[in-house]
């Protein structure tokens, strides 16, 4: 889990408005810092800004198309300026030139950036940058007072040597300072900065080009966990088998088909993961051979030779170092007993056991959380509803909607994460 001062930026949508000024060059590093902290950054540039730093540079650093034309036919066909105005959690104008502050204070809508600011309800922060004489001018100070009175946050400026040779106030704050100021605009979530990998849904193991082996998993529990984790500030990677669910917002979704695909995707990202939550109903077996053509119905019987699929969560749990490992057990009988056995056998830090037939495809769930008591110093989960049996602690969650239960699960996982540290 990231403990730095930028953790609250995870999953935040930041619209960076760049106006014309030599300090525009600092926006390259600012964008890199915001993106590294987990923010989704989109850049809007005034025409003057493009004379100081290129849109191509900002596109490469943000990973998103740069917007700089108010009347852009391509943008209007996709995300128009009104849709873009609805998108951000925060608008930061950096550098904010004296001219732009004056136009903003008077409600002008003469370019894309000023139009967005009029149309958006998002919080606005301004990072002024200008010559010290322009900064100290009464007109500039009146404009800033007007904007501050309307709720705009003013970041800086700093004082020092300026590009024109003057010394005094008007330097734009450094990128790290601006990134920290942006982070301070948000309240930390329970999981801020925590990197979580979640597997969800079934896998499909092909028999021939039109048939496969699978199960009834809908993926709803894994998707609920991904949604709630992202809302709590985590950086979430969701590795999903085939499901009929929309991708959760602010979540990196990796689509896979087979158990081998899922294992490969997990291994590729596991070293950058703090918590792994294995919710997917992975097929235990796959056909030993995949027939290249559709099998015709000719014989009275058909024999399939199956081979065992890799144990994804067991493989990951055996790694060192490893993330906090959380598993799921969907059983049809003796749910808690089988769950406890799996918790120990696979060397997991926590497991949620539930009755399979009642949860597959359902919007509600009841589950039992299980974790080993590893001594009073490490056991950090305290709850009046928790019970202890054979050195295993348990707590019943639900029955309730999967999103509510997901929030309860993540709270317990967070406690185990703190205990593991």
- Higher per-residue pLDDT: 367 or 78: 367
pLDDT at 159: 86
Q: How far is 227 from 317, CA to CA, in rounded Å?
A: 24
Single residue among 122, 151, 183 that ends a domain in this structure: 183
Residue 189 lies in a domain: no
- Output the six-digit token pair for 24: 């525009």
The reported pLDDT for the residue numbered 80 is 61
| Backbone phi, psi, residue 369, to 5° | -85, 135
Model confidence at 399: pLDDT above 80 = yes
d(CA 351, CA 349): 7
Report field, pTM of the whole predicted structure over 0.85? no
| Number of neighbouring beta carbons within 10 Å of residue 302 | 9
C-alpha dihedral sign at 161, 162, 164, 170: negative
Residue 194 pLDDT: 93
Query: Does 33 share its domain with 65?
Result: yes
Q: What mean pLDDT do residues 17-41 have?
A: 95
Residue 382 confidence (pLDDT):
44
Asked, for residue 340, whether it belongs to a domain, the answer is yes
Interatomic CA distance for residues 130 and 77, integer angstroms: 36
CA distance 155 to 93: 10
- Last residue of some domain: 183, 216, 232? 183
Is residue 134 located within the same domain as residue 236? no
Residue 375: pLDDT above 60?
no
Q: How far apart are CA 278 and CA 263, in angstroms?
A: 11
For 44, the enclosing helix (H) or strand (E) is strand 40-45
> In this predicted model, what pLDDT tens digit does every residue of 37-88 receive, in sequence order?
999 999 999 999 999 999 999 999 999 999 988 766 565 444 466 788 999 9
Q: Are residues 95 and 217 in the same domain?
A: no
pLDDT-derived band at 21, boundaries 50, 70, 90? very high
pLDDT by residue (tens digit) across 302-327? 899 999 999 999 999 998 899 999 99
- Give the residue-averaged pLDDT of 32-39: 94
Q: For the domain that residue 122 is a member of, what is the CATH number?
A: 3.40.50.1950
Same domain, 160 and 285: no
Do 94 and 172 meet the contact criterion of CB atoms below 8 Å apart?
Answer: yes
Residue 190 domain-assigned (yes or no) = no
Per DSSP bridges, beta strands 90-96 and 124-128 are: parallel
Residues paired with residue 211 on neighbouring β-strands, in sequence order: 208
Q: Given pLDDT bands bounded at 50, 70 and 90, which one contains residue 1?
A: very low
Tokens for 356? Answer: 């399979």
Average pLDDT, integer, range 230-251: 95
- Contact call for residues 221 and 330 (beta carbons, < 8 A): no
> Based on the domain organization, do 165 and 200 belong to the same domain?
no
Task: Tell me which H or E stretch contains 308.
Answer: strand 306-308
Q: Give start and end residues of each alpha helix (H) in 270-364.
A: 312-317, 335-345, 356-359
In a domain, 85, yes or no: yes
Task: Report the CATH number at residue 333.
Answer: 3.40.50.10300
Residue for token pair 């930390």 = 188
> Using H for helix, E for strand and C for coil, what is the string for 164-206?
CCCEEEEECCCHHHHHHHHHCCCCCCCCCCCEEEEEECECCEE
Is 163 inside any structural domain?
yes
The confidence band for 160, taking pLDDT boundaries of 50, 70 and 90, is confident
Cβ–Cβ under 8 Å, residues 92 and 116: no
Task: Give the total number of structural domains in the chain.
Answer: 2
**Do 277 and 171 sit in the same domain of this protein?**
no
**Residue 68: per-residue pLDDT:** 86
pLDDT recorded at residue 420: 84
Do 275 and 392 sit in the same domain of this protein?
yes
Is residue 209 a part of any domain in this protein? yes
The share of the chain scoring above pLDDT 90, in percent, equals 72
Residues 177, 211 share a domain: no
Residue 1 lies in a domain: no
| pLDDT of residue 107 exceeding 90 | yes
**Do 249 and 108 reside in the same domain of the chain?**
no
Q: Is the dihedral of CA 227, 236, 408, 245 positive or negative?
A: positive
Domain that holds residue 18: 7-183
HSE-CB of 279 using CA atoms within 13 angstroms: 30
- What is the model's pLDDT at position 389? 47
3-state secondary structure of 77: helix
Q: Which residues are catalytic?
A: 164
Q: Looking at the domain assignment, is residue 2 inside a domain?
A: no
| Mean pLDDT along residues 95-106 | 96
Cβ atoms of 312 and 326 within 8 Å: the answer is no
Provide the mean pLDDT of the chain: 89
Specify whether 324 is located in the same domain as 245: yes
Distance of alpha carbon 396 from alpha carbon 45, whole angstroms = 52
Domain boundary among 118, 149, 183: 183
Distances in whole angstroms, Cα of residue 38 to Cα of each of 72, 190, 233: 29, 16, 9
Same domain, 140 and 243: no
Check residue 220 and report its DSSP letter. H
Judge if 232 and 350 occupy the same domain.
yes
3-state SS assignment for residue 363: coil
| Cα 325 from Cα 303, distance rounded (Å) | 37
Pick from 252, 236, 237, 154: nearest CA to 189: 236
In the block, tokens 């509510």 appear at 404
Give the contacts of 209 (CB within 8 A, at least 6 positions apart).
291, 292, 293, 294
């Amino acid at each position: 889990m990231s403990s730095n001062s930028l953790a609250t930026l995870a999953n935040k949508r930041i619209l960076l408005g760049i106006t014309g000024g030599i300090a525009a060059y600092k926006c390259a590093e600012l964008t890199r810092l915001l993106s590294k902290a987990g923010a989704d950054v989109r850049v809007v540039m005034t025409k003057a800004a493009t004379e100081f730093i290129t849109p191509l540079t900002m596109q490469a650093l943000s990973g998103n198309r740069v917007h700089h034309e108010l009347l852009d036919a391509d943008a209007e066909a996709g995300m128009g300026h009104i849709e873009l105005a609805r998108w951000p959690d925060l608008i930061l104008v950096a550098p904010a030139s004296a001219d732009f502050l004056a136009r903003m204070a008077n409600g002008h809508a003469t370019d894309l950036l000023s139009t967005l600011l009029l149309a958006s309800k998002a919080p606005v922060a301004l990072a002024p940058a200008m010559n010290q004489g322009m900064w100290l001018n009464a007109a500039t100070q009146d404009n800033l007072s007007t904007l501050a009175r309307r709720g705009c946050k003013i970041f800086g400026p700093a004082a020092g040597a300026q590009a024109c040779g003057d010394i005094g106030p008007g330097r734009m704050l450094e990128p790290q300072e601006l990134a920290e100021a942006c982070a301070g605009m948000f309240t930390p979530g329970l999981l801020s900065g925590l990197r979580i990998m979640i597997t969800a849904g079934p896998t499909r193991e092909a028999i021939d080009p039109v048939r496969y082996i699978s199960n009834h998993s809908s993926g709803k529990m894994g998707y609920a966990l991904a949604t709630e984790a992202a809302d709590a500030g985590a950086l979430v990677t969701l590795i999903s088998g085939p499901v009929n669910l929309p991708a959760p917002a602010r979540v990196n979704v990796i689509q896979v088909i087979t158990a081998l695909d899922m294992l490969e995707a997990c291994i590729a990202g596991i070293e950058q993961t703090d918590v792994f939550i294995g919710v997917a109903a992975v097929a235990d077996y796959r056909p030993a051979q995949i027939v290249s053509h559709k099998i015709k119905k000719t014989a009275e019987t058909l024999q399939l030779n199956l081979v065992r699929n890799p144990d994804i969560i067991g493989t990951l749990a055996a790694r060192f170092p490893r993330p906090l490992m959380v598993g799921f057990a969907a059983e049809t009988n003796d749910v808690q007993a089988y769950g406890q056995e799996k918790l120990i056998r696979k060397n997991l830090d926590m497991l949620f056991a539930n009755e399979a037939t009642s949860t597959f495809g359902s919007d509600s769930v009841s589950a039992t959380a299980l974790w080993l008591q590893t001594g009073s110093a490490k056991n950090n989960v305290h709850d009046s509803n928790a019970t202890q049996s054979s050195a295993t602690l348990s707590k019943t969650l639900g029955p309730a909607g999967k999103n509510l239960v997901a929030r309860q699960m993540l709270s317990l996982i967070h406690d185990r994460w703190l205990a593991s540290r």
